[in-house]
A = this chain, B = another copy of it.
Amino acid sequence: MYYIGIDLGGTQIKAGIIDEEGSIVSKAETATLADRPYQDVARDMAMCSLQALEKSGLTLNDIGGVGIGIPGLADNVTGRVIFCTNLGWYDIPLRDELQKYMHLPILIDNDATVAGFAESMAGVSRGLHSSVFLTLGTGVGGGIVIDGKPWTGAHGVASEIGHLTMEIDGIPCTCGKKGCLERYCSATALIHMAEEVCSNNPECALMKKAGGNTKNITGRMVIDLAKEGDEHALKIFHRYTKYLAIAINTIISFMDPDMIVLGGGISHAGKFLIDAVNEKLPEYLMFKTLPYSKIALASLGNDAGLIGAAMLTKAGLASKNS
């Protein structure tokens, strides 16, 4: 049997045909164009899936179900998207709309949750009992796996690790609260730290790389310069990885999973990132002499969403509320 995985993003719709092992057989993608009516987006999600199916040489009879990862929350009892902020979707009957094109079981879940599940089914945390996946991107997403299954909580609102409070009355967050973890550990946070350093050091190498304009700074620039040993970039990187180590300790002290998997843009820093985190972590651990979660890089990259969504369907898993 094969499964369709759909990764619905704010800019791209990606669909893939996934086999029992979590390997991609074929893929297709198209633009989301999120300001269209949701019916049009849903139609393109179906078309994109059928396009991937055609590439694979399989037919709908070979497909066991459709899984969808969304940047939001869904209710799998009703098949409705509860909300999906960056598509402007609130209470959208996505399953019904898609079933107009594909008569298959459809499950919808949060994108970070399915990406974490993908790593646990076919990636770096494959086969482990418990893991926590962190996407370090524009924001910070979390995907918790317990007993090999995605954990989304009793009310479907778990694993919002980006919105744990790391600083009481700290930096205002886009969510309306203050001091949320993603204000310190996202790529956006790294860039803000870099802007601050560049404003105070307008002659620094990073400012030159950014063409003299802090608006051009990217996380990649900071990390590349830090790898080269640039003083200011290293200062930014060390501040960022201190916060990340504190966040990782929070995950360990709360849940102590077998593995913590780092994904998203910042994770492209690779071993350089893992080494920095492992160096700082002991200072923040509660039990400094006991073993703790392995920290690893995500291995499925941008395909994790597709794969995890499809695997969710294979496993017949759906959280109560997302």
Contacts and interface: CB of A to CB of B under 8 A. Distances in A.
Interface of A: 73, 82, 129-130, 142, 144, 146-147, 151-161, 163-168, 170, 175, 177, 184, 243, 246, 249-250, 252-258, 283-284, 286-287, 290-293, 321
A166 B168 contact: yes
B184 A257 contact: no
Nearest to A252: B157
A160 to B, nearest CB: 4
Given A147-B147, A165-B166, A290 B154 contact: no
A290 to B, nearest CB: 6
A176 to B, nearest CB: 9
Given A165-B284, A168-B166, A168-B167, A158 B73 contact: no
B287 A253 contact: no
B253 A161 contact: yes
A183 to B, nearest CB: 11
Given A250-B164, A250-B165, A256 B153 contact: yes
A175 B287 CA distance: 9
A184 B168 contact: yes
